[in-house]
């Protein structure tokens, strides 16, 4: 089955916020959010061991327990093992992501992209998720934002370990697809240039959004489309900056980003378009994109995302964005605008 055909619907649910991203989310609120997603008809759920040191997977597993397993698709990630021993969450080296999950569990997180760790990580995730299978596995964060100048060494470790293990699991039918889950385009480029192994698709967070898409558009999307692979777009609202939040790339947004948001919003307001609709529909307009997975930590956000997906956006809005130089000249726009 082609990667893009794995996903039941264009709108999925990103569970990073359920790992207590930025704040301590009450258990009842986390459970209610997943339930709201289910009741909305969302049937694709993405998680990762890193999100709250297993907390997001545990919460997702609890919320989906009892739901018909044949009706939904799970993706999670490998590259980090969550141990039983605890550590000082403030002393963790999370690269550019700092204390994003400081409110999560204090369990020790170990970076390990070996084949053995990959298999163990999947086993651990199955237990936390309370399921017997995972459809899609992404190798997590093989990029500069976590490893700086050492990212190529981490990539090489994964090439010898995780990639081969996942290729085998896919060919054996244990999983249905694998790829990279990253916030940067370079690792995807590098993997696409290898003759083997053969990834099926990628989760690219923050790099194919209305605010930031030039690099991915030029260097990743064409190759992905040519090869019949696919992209899941994470962070379609650019860490909230696009929809009026203070953060871009998990940190306070710089003036240039805030100025771009203001320009887009002025055009959106003129056309009566919500910023969420602009963000989601832009990302989905690229033929390489299989699904978008905005994160949510409140039930009300799910309804907003669904409304944004269904909102009728006039073609003139997209044309004006293009004329104002706010989208790349080659970026596919909804409705062929």
Q: Is residue 237 annotated as a catalytic residue, yes or no?
A: no
Q: Could you give the CA distance from residue 281 to residue 265 in angstroms, rounded to a whole number?
A: 15
Cβ contacts of 39 within 8 Å, gap of 6 or more: none
DSSP states of 185-237 as a string?
A: SHHHHHHHHSSSS---EEEEESSSSSSS-HHHHHHTHHHHHHTT-EEEEE-TT
4, 44, 72, 77: the active-site residue? 77
51, 72, 237, 250: the active-site residue? 51
Is there a cis peptide before residue 197, judged by omega within 30 degrees of 0?
yes
Cβ contacts of 171 within 8 Å, gap of 6 or more: none
**Beta strands in 64-176, from DSSP E residues, in sequence order:** 73-78, 80-86, 107-111, 136-140
Cβ contacts of 212 within 8 Å, gap of 6 or more: 206, 238
Give the phi and the psi of residue 293 in degrees, each rounded to 5: -130, 75
**Beta strands in 70-200, from DSSP E residues, in sequence order:** 73-78, 80-86, 107-111, 136-140, 177-182
Q: 169: which DSSP letter?
A: H
Q: Is residue 200 annotated as a catalytic residue, yes or no?
A: no
Q: Is residue 77 annotated as a catalytic residue, yes or no?
A: yes
Active site residues: 46, 51, 77
């Amino acid at each position: 089955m082609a990667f893009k055909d794995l996903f039941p619907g264009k709108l999925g649910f990103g569970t990073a916020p359920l790992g207590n991203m930025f704040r301590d989310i009450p258990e009842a609120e986390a459970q209610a959010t997943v339930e709201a997603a289910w009741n909305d008809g969302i049937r694709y759920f993405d998680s990762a061991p890193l999100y709250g040191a297993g907390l997001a997977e545990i919460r997702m597993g609890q919320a989906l327990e009892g739901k018909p397993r044949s009706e939904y698709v799970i993706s999670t990630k490998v590259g980090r093992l969550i141990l039983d021993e605890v550590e000082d969450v403030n002393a963790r080296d999370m690269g550019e992501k700092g204390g994003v999950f400081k409110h999560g569990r204090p369990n020790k997180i170990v970076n390990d992209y070996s084949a053995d760790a990959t298999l163990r990580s999947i086993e651990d995730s199955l237990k936390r998720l309370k399921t017997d299978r995972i459809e899609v596995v992404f190798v997590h964060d093989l990029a500069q934002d976590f490893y700086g100048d050492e990212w190529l060494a981490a990539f090489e470790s994964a090439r010898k370990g995780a990639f081969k293990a996942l290729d085998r699991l896919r060919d054996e039918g244990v999983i249905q697809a694998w790829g990279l889950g990253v916030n940067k385009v370079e690792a995807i480029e590098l993997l696409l240039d290898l003759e083997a192994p053969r990834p099926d698709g990628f989760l690219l967070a923050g790099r194919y959004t209305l605010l930031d898409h030039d690099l991915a558009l030029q260097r990743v999307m064409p190759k992905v489309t040519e090869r019949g692979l696919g992209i899941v777009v994470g962070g379609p609202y650019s860490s909230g900056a696009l929809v009026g939040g203070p953060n871009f790339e998990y940190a306070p947004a710089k003036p240039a980003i805030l100025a771009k948001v203001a320009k887009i919003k002025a055009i959106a307001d003129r056309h009566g378009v919500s910023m969420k609709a602009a963000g989601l529909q832009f990302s989905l307009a690229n033929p390489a994109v299989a699904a978008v997975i905005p994160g949510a930590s409140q039930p009300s956000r799910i309804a907003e995302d669904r409304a944004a997906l269904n909102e009728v956006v006039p073609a003139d809005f997209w044309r004006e964005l293009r004329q104002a130089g706010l989208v790349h000249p080659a970026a596919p726009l909804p409705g062929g605008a």
